[in-house]
Amino acid sequence: MATSLVAAAETALEDLPEDALLAILAFLAPADAAAAACTCRALFAAASSPALPLALALRLGLPPPRPSPEACPASVRRLFRSLHRLRRLLGLWRRLPSSHSGSPSLVAFEWAPRATLAASLLAPSNRGLAVSKSPFVTLSVAESGDTVAALGEVPVCVNFVGDNHIVVEAASGEDEEEGMEGGSPPEEMYMHFANRRSPGAGRRRRERHGRRKGGRMEPEHFVRIPDAEPTKARPLQGLWKGVCENKTLEFYIISYDDIGGVTCRRVSENRGQNSGYSPVFWTTDATFLEPPFSERELDRYSCLEHIGVVTCGHTETWNKAVSRILCINSSFDLVHPHLLAPFDDTRNVEGRIWLYEDGTFGFGFTGSNSIIDLKHVSMDGCIIDTSS
């Protein structure tokens, strides 16, 4: 045993088989893989191998790419970058509000067959707690190794602005590589939020302005929804859905801050300067009350009505076993504007979150006789309870 360990420790990197070198490169980002390829001849040969895209596709869980008889190191590197780029888009994104957009605010990027990435618009369905999915943008990898994006039959560009901000706009005929990999200087980000324009040089902004006059699609900006699913340490975080008191299904984004606080915002489809991301509740202390609960807490919970699935104009109600309770606050006029009058002396209203044993939860406030129960929108990266 000792002899074999010594022999393994003395094995040089160049002595590893090509499969092992390909596996190493497949776990690296494109820039790191390029740097690694410069360290020795063996890694350089592996980085130029037509088998590298296959190793990367297997690691990402993608279907194997089609072999090309004209495969060359340059096309292999382009394919390598394209597959990494598609992987960066995976997940849930929120549209930044704009005056010209009436489309749904949420987009989900998911793997599709044949090594493509499909983006779907998410909206509340009129069928209970179902989520309506409609096609948005499809991204694929061409035989040249480049990324190709289309909105239906119309070519578009999906450009990164930093790591958590993308812009979807009409294809301008310019090279997409720089936009997909580039960052955004602070002055360009300021111009976006001040003027609602896509970041870029002055010439490109003038070109997009011309496209507006021609009636072509306006640039759409999206920001990533980080931590879109709950964890054991943060059971409330992520994107949720629930039926409100007005009997409509709505989406909620809940996030934790660096000091342990929790904030919930409603994702709205309404237009306007302050629409699209309305605060619902918050707390600066995410410490839950543990059982056994006091009689007062049990009475508070048992007397409230659970708002559940809406079917044919009727609301189903049910009770769930509560595992923990969290105290929250809210600005009452944002949550229940029709009940504001009795509370003119205060805007902050006390509420509760009831965490259920199945991992879901509900919340309610003083002055309301109901609980809004929330369920998951996605599970393990896939949108659940969908309808077309």
pLDDT digits (tens, 9 = 90+) for 62-118: 655 555 545 556 666 677 777 778 888 989 999 987 755 567 889 999 988 765 789
Cross-strand bridge partners of residue 111: 117
Number of residues that make up the chain: 388
- b/e code 344-361 from CB counts within 10 Å (16+ = b): eeeeebebbbbbbeeebb
Q: Which pLDDT score, from 0 to 100, does residue 58 have? A: 66
| DSSP-derived pairing of the beta strands 322-331 and 165-170 | unpaired
Distance (Å, whole) CA 384 – CA 377: 6
Indicate the pTM of the whole model.
0.70
Domains along the chain with CATH numbers: 14-61 (no CATH), 62-171+215-226 (2.40.128.50), 227-383 (no CATH)
- Cα-Cα-Cα-Cα torsion 198, 202, 206, 207, nearest 10 degrees, comes to -70
Using the structure block, give the residue that is written with the tokens 């991992």: 359
Distance (Å, whole) CA 340 – CA 283: 21
Q: Which pLDDT score, from 0 to 100, does residue 200 have? A: 42
Question: Rg (Cα) of the chain, in Å, rounded?
Answer: 25
pLDDT digits (tens, 9 = 90+) for 112-154: 876 578 999 999 887 778 899 999 999 987 777 788 999 988 9
Mean pLDDT of the residues in the chain = 75
Q: Which pLDDT score, from 0 to 100, does residue 177 have? A: 45
Distance (Å, whole) CA 43 – CA 49: 10
Contact, 155 vs 162, CB < 8 A? no
Contact, 271 vs 278, CB < 8 A? no
pLDDT digits (tens, 9 = 90+) for 2-37: 444 444 456 677 778 887 887 787 777 666 776 777
CA-nearest of 375, 366, 385 to 243 is 375
Least confident of 236-250, 260-274, 282-296: 260-274
Q: Which pLDDT score, from 0 to 100, does residue 347 have? A: 56
pLDDT digits (tens, 9 = 90+) for 210-255: 344 445 678 999 999 989 999 999 999 999 999 887 788 899 999 9
pLDDT digits (tens, 9 = 90+) for 181-210: 443 333 333 333 334 333 444 434 433 433
